[in-house]
C-alpha cells in the first residue's frame, strides 16, 4: 500500500504543477467601449466619458440572481470572469483563482484545484500511515528484545526519524486538507476567504453542502482555453515583448494610458528642438537681466526655465508644454 500511495501522490503532484490552472487568454488590444455593455459602471472609471479611453473599472454580472462586480485587468486588457483574479507571480488571470502555491510552483485554479486537494489529502493519509506503522515497528522491537522505548529507538533509528518527520508534516498537510474541506463545504476560495468577502452578505456560489462537493469533485473539468503548442503570431509576440521591456516598443503615436485615463502623445524631434530653443531664450533673458513687463509680480526667468525643463523631462508631452506657453508670449525689450 505504501508504494502505491507514494506513486499516486507523485502523479497528483505532476497533475497539479504541470496542468493549466485556468489561464484566461490575454487580449492584444483593449475592448471597445461599445462592446462593454449597458451594465458597465462608467462612474467607476476616471475619464469614462472620453471615447475609447473611457473603459469602466468594473462591470456588473448576474450570478445566481445576485449582481457581482467583475474588474477590468489592465495587464490582460479584459474583464475578468467571476471569481477570476490576476496572479502577480504568474502574471496571468486565473479562473476561480484560489492561491499561488510556492511548493508546487503553480497557481491553483479551476482546472487543477481538484488535483491539489487530492494531493494534500493523499499526503496527509501517507503521513498517518507511515507514522502508525513506524510506531508498530518500535512496539515490536520493544517486545522482541524486551527493552525500553529508548533502546528500541536506538535499535531502529529509521523508524524514529520517520515518526518525527511525519508527525511534523501531518500538521501542515493535515491542516491544509481540513481548511480546504471547509472551503469546499461553503464554496469559497482561499483568496475569497482571506478577503472576508462573504462575512456581511450571502455567497452567491454556495449551493449547499452536497452540491458544493459534487461541483468540486465530480463535475467535468473544462478544457484549456490556451493552445500552448500553437505558433505565436506577430501581434502576440510584439505584445509580449512590449510588456517584458516596459512598453519601450510602443509606437510614437497617440496612445491611451489605461491607468490614468488620459491621452498622451510622444514628442518628435522637431518639438524637442523647439523646447531647447525656448529654454535657451529663457536662459538668455536671465543672463541679460531683462524681464518683460507683463511678468512683474510673477515667476522670474529662472523659474520659468526650470518649469520648461521639468515639463520636458518629466512628462515628455508637447501638448502640456503648449499649455504652459499660453501664459503669455515673451517679448523682446530693446534697451
Alpha carbon distance 281, 332 (integer Å): 10
> Exposure pattern of 233-259 as b/e (b: 16+ CB <10 Å)?
eeeeeebeeeeeeeeeeeeeeeebebe
Contact at 8 Å (CB) between 96 and 87?
no
DSSP string, 241-302: HHHHTTSTT--SS-EEETTTTEEE----HHHHHHHHHHHHHHHHHHHHT---GGGTTS--HH
Q: Is 101 designated active site?
A: yes
Which of 101, 127, 134, 301 is catalytic? The answer is 101
How many Cβ atoms are within 10 Å of 297's Cβ, its own excluded? Answer: 5
Alpha carbon distance 33, 49 (integer Å): 10
Among candidate residues 196, 9, 177, 23, the one with its CA nearest the CA of residue 107:
23
Alpha carbon distance 23, 75 (integer Å): 13
* Strand intervals (E) in the chain: 58-63, 66-73, 78-79, 85-87, 92-94, 99-101, 106-108, 255-257, 262-264
Q: Which residues are catalytic?
A: 101
Amino acid at each position: 500500500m505504501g508504494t502505491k500511495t507514494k506513486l499516486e501522490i507523485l502523479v497528483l503532484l505532476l497533475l497539479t504543477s504541470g496542468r493549466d490552472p485556468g489561464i484566461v487568454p490575454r487580449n492584444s488590444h483593449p475592448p471597445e467601449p461599445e462592446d462593454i455593455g449597458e451594465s458597465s459602471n462608467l462612474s467607476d472609471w476616471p475619464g469614462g466619458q472620453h471615447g475609447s479611453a473611457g473603459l469602466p473599472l468594473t462591470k456588473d454580472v448576474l450570478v445566481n440572481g445576485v449582481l457581482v462586480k467583475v474588474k477590468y485587468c489592465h495587464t490582460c486588457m479584459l474583464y475578468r470572469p467571476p471569481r477570476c483574479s490576476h496572479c502577480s507571480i504568474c502574471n496571468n488571470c486565473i479562473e476561480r483563482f484560489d492561491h499561488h502555491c510556492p511548493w508546487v510552483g503553480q497557481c491553483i485554479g479551476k482546472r487543477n484545484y481538484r488535483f491539489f486537494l487530492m494531493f494534500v489529502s493523499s499526503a496527509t493519509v501517507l503521513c498517518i500511515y507511515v507514522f502508525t506503522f513506524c510506531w508498530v515497528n518500535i512496539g515490536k522491537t520493544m517486545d522482541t528484545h524486551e527493552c525500553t522505548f529508548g533502546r528500541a529507538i536506538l535499535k531502529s533509528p529509521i523508524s524514529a526519524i520517520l515518526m518525527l518527520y511525519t508527525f511534523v508534516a501531518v500538521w501542515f498537510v493535515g491542516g491544509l486538507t481540513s481548511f480546504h474541506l471547509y472551503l469546499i463545504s461553503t464554496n469559497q476560495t482561499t483568496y475569497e476567504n482571506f478577503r472576508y468577502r462573504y462575512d456581511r452578505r450571502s455567497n452567491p456560489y454556495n449551493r449547499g453542502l452536497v452540491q458544493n462537493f459534487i461541483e468540486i469533485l465530480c463535475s467535468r473539468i473544462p478544457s484549456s482555453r490556451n493552445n500552448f503548442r500553437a505558433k505565436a503570431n506577430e501581434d502576440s509576440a510584439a505584445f509580449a515583448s512590449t510588456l517584458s521591456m516596459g512598453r519601450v516598443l510602443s509606437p510614437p503615436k497617440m496612445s491611451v494610458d489605461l491607468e490614468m485615463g488620459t491621452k498622451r502623445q510622444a514628442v518628435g524631434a522637431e518639438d524637442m528642438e523647439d523646447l531647447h530653443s525656448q529654454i535657451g531664450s529663457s536662459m538668455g533673458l536671465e543672463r541679460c537681466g531683462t524681464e518683460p513687463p507683463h511678468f512683474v509680480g510673477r515667476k522670474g526667468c529662472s523659474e520659468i526655465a526650470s518649469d520648461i525643463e521639468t515639463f520636458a523631462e518629466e512628462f515628455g508631452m508637447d501638448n502640456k508644454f503648449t499649455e504652459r506657453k499660453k501664459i503669455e508670449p515673451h517679448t523682446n525689450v530693446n534697451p
